[in-house]
Amino acid sequence: MNVSGSIYISKTLATRIGLQDQDEIRVRVGGRITRSKLVIQNLKGRSYMLSPGLAHELLVKKHRRLKLRYDQQTNMIHLGPTIGVLSSSLPNREGFDPTSVQAELIYLSNIGKKLPGQVYIFTPSSINWSNNTVRGYVYRQLSIERGMWVSQIYPLPDVVYDRIPSRSSEAQTNIRNTKQRLCKMPYLKYFNPSFLNKWKVYQLLITDSRLYPYIPETQHLTEVSLEAMLKKHDTLYLKPADGSLGKGIIKVRRDEKGILHLVAHRKGRHRSQAQNASDLWKKTKVFRGDRSYIVQQGIKLATFHGSPFDIRIIFQKNSKGEWQVGKKFVRVAAKGSSVANLSSGGRVETTKRVFRILYKNPATIEEKNTHIKELCKNIANTLEHSSQSNYGELGIDIGMDQNGFPWLIEVNSKPRKTTESEHSQVIARNTLKRPLEYAAYLAGF
């Protein structure tokens, strides 16, 4: 390793971080590491400085934005954090839509400018593997309505926040390969690595016996499992394992005479009837196609103004790596519908309002909220542990049944945070900022 330039560290800082006097030291920014001369001296109020040669080698633009830490074990100075938000493309359409992927990337970039370290957006095609660099993009706001993505070359990041926006882009070969390669980089940490599959999530969570009571009985859908589940439950939900937005969901209800009533959600609602499991299996084929499905016990959800609702919790890790509720709201299904997704006609209510009407007593409400929070914590920890993956945020759907007991309906790993109508700008902003703060924590800062 060549020696490039010098790093000057103030005596005060050197003492504070336990850095011994030595001629040379390794210095790292993200994926770039170099040897440098080390000079410990008085710096007139500054804590550290880089010579132009070193700044150039490490692609540092404004070193005052970067924090410095020292890793005693590897005897290396680390400047950062460098945070890369991975997306599949950098949309820049005219006419700003605040609920779009583009808007979220712009928000993240703008919030990132105010945090210590450097935050950029990047795509698989912007990486240069030969020198561990990447073309990173930052949004330059020209007016309230207009702006542009401005690019510069940065080191590969300390931490990747995966915001690949869809399952279809996630499945593309170049994106899959890029992710695999990034995850293998030394020093690089990666969070929210992929979309979740409902059947896999069930299998991962059911390993934790504390969660048994909260998870509706679920099986991989086959004609055999369908028949078995119909014997046990009078309402079932058939759901595409890789589905979202309520699309492809089929609700089945058995009436007193044993007739099966089904409602399929696909561009509107389609109603039909079946006589038995085998008939139901055949009649649902047109909706299911060749996709993998789960069959799940239906929960008698509590209703608000006559419609079932569930609670969406944006559960996030904070700057200390601890889980907390980022945002929580109720989604009430459209009249006559049994799926509460906003894209399927559901509407947003505050939990406060719904709980006040349903449970009245403040102590009961407090107890429900604590119960839900503890449940989310167990879900998040078990999911991370059993999948051996790192998640900085999850969108957790909780259904309250008619006895006021919470059930887990679904876990999402890529919750959209710009789609819901906002009750508080502060909460909305903090919910966008938190994953970047968690990223800084993961980087060691």
Ligand X SMILES: Nc1ncnc2c1ncn2[C@@H]1O[C@H](COP(=O)(O)OP(=O)(O)O)[C@@H](O)[C@H]1O
> Could you say which of ligand X, Mg ion, none residue 117 binds, taking C-beta under 5 to 8 angstroms by partner kind?
none
Distance in Å, CB of 302 to ligand X, minimum: 11
- CA dist 312 and 323 (Å) reads 16
Site string for Mg ion, 261-300 (x = CB under 5 A): ----------------------------------------
Task: Kindly list the strands in the beta sheet with 235-240, ordered across the sheet, starting from the edge strand earlier in the chain.
Answer: 218-220, 293-297, 235-240, 250-254, 260-265, 269-274
> Could you say which of ligand X, Mg ion, none residue 134 binds, taking C-beta under 5 to 8 angstroms by partner kind?
none
- Interaction between residue 296 and ligand X (CB under 6 A): yes
Identity of the residue, 117 or 248, whose beta carbon is nearer to ligand X in the bound complex: 248
Compute φ and ψ for 384, nearest 5 degrees.
Answer: -65, -45
Distance in Å, CB of 79 to Mg ion, minimum: 41
DSSP tag of 157: P
- CA dist 358 and 302 (Å) reads 9
- Interaction between residue 410 and Mg ion (CB under 5 A): yes
DSSP 10-73: EHHHHHHHTPPP-SEEEEEETTEEEEEEEEEE--TT-SEEE-HHHHHHTT-S-GGGSEEEEETT
- Per the structure block, which two tokens stand in for 120? 């950029």
Query: How are beta strands 218-220 and 293-297 bridged, if at all?
Result: antiparallel
Q: Which SS3 state, helix, strand or coil, does residue 297 take?
A: strand
Identity of the residue, 48 or 304, whose beta carbon is nearer to ligand X in the bound complex: 304
- Interaction between residue 104 and Mg ion (CB under 5 A): no
Beta carbons within 10 angstroms of residue 143's beta carbon: 6
Site string for ligand X, 217-256 (x = CB under 6 A): --------------------x-x---xxxx--x-------
Which residues, including other chains, have CB under 8 Å from residue 253's CB and lie 6 or more apart? Answer: 234, 235, 260, 261, 262, 298
- Interaction between residue 158 and ligand X (CB under 6 A): no
Site string for ligand X, 297-336 (x = CB under 6 A): xxx-x--------x----------------------x---
> Could you say which of Mg ion, ligand X, none residue 411 binds, taking C-beta under 5 to 8 angstroms by partner kind?
none
Distance in Å, CB of 245 to Mg ion, minimum: 8
- Interaction between residue 25 and ligand X (CB under 6 A): no
Q: Using only C-alpha atoms, what is the Rg of the chain?
A: 25
> Could you say which of Mg ion, ligand X, none residue 399 binds, taking C-beta under 5 to 8 angstroms by partner kind?
ligand X
- CA dist 62 and 305 (Å) reads 55
- Interaction between residue 81 and ligand X (CB under 6 A): no
Q: Report how far Cα 80 is from the mean position of its chain's Cα atoms.
A: 22
By the 8 A CB rule, do 81 and 158 touch? yes
Identity of the residue, 59 or 394, whose beta carbon is nearer to Mg ion in the bound complex: 394
- Only one of the segments 202-210, 313-321, 371-379, 389-397 lies at the binding site for Mg ion (rule: CB under 5 A); that segment is 389-397
- The residue count of the chain comes to 445
Distance in Å, CB of 329 to Mg ion, minimum: 13
- Binding residues (CB under 6 A) for ligand X: these are 216, 237, 239, 243-246, 249, 296-299, 301, 310, 333, 339-341, 397, 399, 409-410
- Binding residues (CB under 5 A) for Mg ion: these are 397, 410
